[in-house]
């Protein structure tokens, strides 16, 4: 069974060792990788130390690998490297000096000569599931790394170790919620001058209507409908209070998501994914992190919510009360959203229950924006309009900005209030009567901001078009009919502005 015990004269590869064509190494010669070789002796000098730290972080980001030039005892070497990474990431001193960085496993591999290496694999493609791996290879090539869409070879060097960044560290390195006391803005978070918020102070807008929904059930219903309509036409935004969602539940939901983002990186790593096809995932910046020139100063946890019985299986296991709190929260927010849509349909002159079939609470998205060394240079979310019917937002501190009359204005964070905004789909259904406003999220330098957005969207196969009752001889349709899924697929997360962050 052991390949190391096979006779040296095996001339043909046993069938059970032949990998399918798309997984085998093939005949293609992997290019030699010129990944960084870092001299750890230099870290004694202060100037060289910070340069070395930057080299390690850059190598970790680009290759997931660093080649150390000196051979020392492995566990000491691990701690030295982790100390430098720790310093570079702004983590507290000694962050790794616990069970997170213990040398837990020693694994020795031998790959004997193979009759046809193009058909077989020594090890399947993978990422190491740990913090770091220290690899000593003999003088024969064999390690390959996937970089910029192709396999490249890591050449063995005399007296060198290969340091491989594991999933846990990679997750922690990317997630802004895992950074501590970072003092300077990382370059890849700095937006071009025409996109960044700049030093200009954006005032909180005092005129965005705050609507008391408790009045909507009484004789004031018509005046509340009018307020909702006016706000949706003028701002595309309004806030609601006395909305029926219990304050305790709002606090519980907010505390829960704060606790989620504050969890240790290894807990978050189990939910983290870079793969945009995973609809349930924790990620950082945007859904195209690997293709971005500039990243957003935020982490995002995104969960589909419809149909709820299926989606609940995919929710995070930690914090343990996640399912209990989020299930209750979604039931109450869904009820609120349908009350608001009823007011809107009455205001537009549509029949009662107009949105019942054409809308569903489809997605919940929690954002975490930690304090940032210079909020004037970066953004939490780029300017965009929501591709929803309406979005219901819970925020703990201000950070949301909306374009009003060509200027950015801030939306205040009021106690026990939800912010409601009109999405693209409602602008279309209303045949342009209601307005979906451009908005963005900015970072701040003092406190962490956490938000919970719930998106009320059409079903993916729904045809979206101006409501028939709003189209007549005097009001021609302003928009053509389309399938909602086609809109989502062609529009991207930030419409044409998406290009601003991509390579």
For residues 370 to 389, the per-residue mask of contacts with Fe ion, x marking binding by CB under 5 A and - elsewhere, is: ----------------x---
Q: Which is nearer to Fe ion, 346 or 449 (CB)?
A: 449
CA torsion, ordered 395, 397, 398, 400, to nearest 10 deg: -30
Size of the residue set binding Fe ion (CB under 5 A): 1
CB of 208 to Fe ion, least distance (A): 15
Instruction: Give min distance, CB of 169 to Fe ion, in A.
Output: 31
Closest approach of Cβ 13 to Fe ion, in Å? 55
* Nearer to Fe ion (CB atom), residue 343 or residue 363: 363
Nearest distance, CB of residue 422 and Fe ion, angstroms? 11
Handedness of CA 37, 41, 46, 47 (dihedral sign): negative
Q: How many CB atoms lie within 10 A of CB 437?
A: 18
Nearer to Fe ion, 87 or 386 (CB): 386
Q: How far is the CB of 499 from Fe ion (least distance, A)?
A: 18
Smallest gap, in angstroms, from Cβ of residue 202 to Fe ion?
A: 17
* Interface positions, 159-178, toward Fe ion (CB under 5 A): none
Q: Does 299 sit near Fe ion (CB under 5 A)?
A: no
- Please state the separation of Cα 489 from the chain's center in Å: 18
Tokens linked to 450: 């956490």
Q: In terms of Cα–Cα distance, which of 352, 358, 499 is closest to 428?
A: 358
The half-sphere exposure of 304 on its side-chain side, counting CA atoms within 13 A, is 13
Distance CA 474, CA 494 (A): 33
Closest distance to Fe ion from the beta carbon of 420 (Å): 12
Q: How far is the CB of 401 from Fe ion (least distance, A)?
A: 11
Helix (H, G, I), strand (E, B) or coil at 419: strand
Residue 255 tokens, joined: 């505390």
* Rounded (10°) angle between helices 322-348 and 247-262: 130
Residue 145, strand partner residues: 152
Alpha-carbon torsion, ordered 348, 351, 355, 357, to 10 deg: -160
Of 101, 85, 166, 178, the closest CA to residue 133 belongs to 166
Nearest to 440 by CA among 365, 380, 356: 380
Contacts of 288 (CB under 8 A, 6+ apart): 276, 498, 501, 502
Contact partners, residue 133, CB within 8 Å, separation at least 6: 163, 164, 166
If you ran DSSP here, which 8-state letter would residue 30 be given? P
Q: What is the DSSP letter of 31?
A: E
| 78 and 166 Cβ atoms separated by less than 8 Å | no
> Closest approach of Cβ 393 to Fe ion, in Å?
8
Residue nearest to Fe ion (CB): 386
Closest distance of CB 419 from Fe ion, Å: 10
Instruction: Name which of 386 and 427 has its Cβ closer to Fe ion.
Output: 386
Distance, in Å, from the CA atom of 257 to the CA atom of 260, rounded to the nearest integer, reads: 5
Which C-beta is closer to Fe ion: that of 152 or that of 340? Answer: 340
Nearest distance, CB of residue 404 and Fe ion, angstroms: 15
Long-range pairs of 403-406 with CB within 8 A, sequence gap ≥ 24: 403/437, 403/438, 403/439, 404/205, 404/235, 404/437
Of 167 and 393, CB closest to Fe ion = 393
List residues binding Fe ion (CB under 5 A).
Answer: 386
């Amino acid at each position: 069974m052991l390949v190391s015990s096979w006779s040296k004269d095996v001339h043909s590869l046993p069938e059970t060792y032949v990998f399918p064509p798309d997984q085998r190494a093939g005949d293609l010669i992997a290019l030699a990788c010129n990944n960084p070789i870092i001299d750890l002796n230099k870290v004694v000098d202060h100037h060289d130390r910070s340069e070395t730290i930057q080299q390690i972080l850059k190598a970790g980001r680009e290759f997931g690998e660093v080649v150390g030039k000196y051979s020392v005892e492995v566990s000491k070497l691990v701690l030295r490297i982790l100390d430098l990474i720790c310093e570079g990431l702004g983590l507290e001193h000694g962050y790794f000096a616990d069970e997170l960085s213990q040398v837990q496993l020693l694994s020795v591999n031998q790959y004997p000569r193979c009759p046809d290496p193009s058909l077989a694999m020594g090890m399947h493609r993978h990422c190491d599931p740990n913090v770091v791996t220290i690899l000593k290879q003999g003088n024969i090539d064999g390690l390959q790394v996937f970089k910029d869409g192709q396999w490249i070879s890591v050449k063995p060097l005399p007296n060198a170790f290969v340091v491989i960044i594991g999933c846990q560290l990679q997750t922690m390195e990317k997630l802004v919620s895992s950074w501590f006391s970072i003092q300077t803005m990382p370059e890849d978070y700095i937006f071009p001058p025409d996109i960044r918020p700049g030093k200009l102070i954006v005032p909180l807008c005092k005129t965005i209507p705050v609507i008391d929904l408790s009045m909507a059930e009484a004789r004031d219903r018509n005046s509340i409908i009018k307020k909702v309509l006016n706000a949706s036409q003028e701002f595309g935004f309004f806030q609601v209070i006395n909305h029926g969602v219990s304050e305790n539940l709002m606090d519980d939901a907010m505390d829960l998501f704060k606790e989620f983002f504050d969890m240790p990186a290894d807990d978050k790593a189990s939910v983290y994914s870079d793969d945009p096809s995973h609809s349930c995932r924790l990620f950082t910046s945007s859904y195209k992190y690997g293709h971005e020139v500039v990243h957003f100063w935020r982490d995002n946890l995104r969960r589909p919510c419809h149909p709820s019985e299926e989606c609940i299986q995919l929710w995070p296991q930690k914090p343990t009360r996640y399912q209990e709190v989020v299930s209750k929260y979604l039931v109450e927010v869904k009820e609120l959203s349908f009350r608001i849509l009823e007011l809107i349909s009455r205001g537009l002159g549509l029949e009662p229950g107009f949105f019942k079939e054409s809308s569903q609470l489809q997605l919940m998205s929690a954002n975490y924006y930690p304090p940032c060394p210079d909020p004037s240079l970066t953004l939490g979310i780029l300017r965009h309009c929501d591709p929803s019917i309406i979005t219901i937002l819970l925020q703990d501190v201000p950070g949301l900005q909306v374009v009003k009359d060509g200027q950015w204005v801030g939306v205040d964070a009021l106690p026990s209030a939800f912010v409601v905004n009109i999405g693209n789909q409602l602008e279309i259904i209303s045949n342009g009567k209601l307005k979906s406003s451009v908005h963005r999220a900015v970072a701040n330098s003092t406190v962490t901001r956490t938000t919970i957005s719930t998106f009320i969207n059409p079903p993916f196969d729904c045809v979206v078009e101006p409501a028939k009752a709003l189209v007549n001889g005097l009001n021609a349709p302003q928009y053509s009919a389309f399938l909602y899924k086609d809109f989502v697929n062609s529009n991207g997360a930030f419409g044409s502005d998406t290009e601003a962050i991509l390579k």
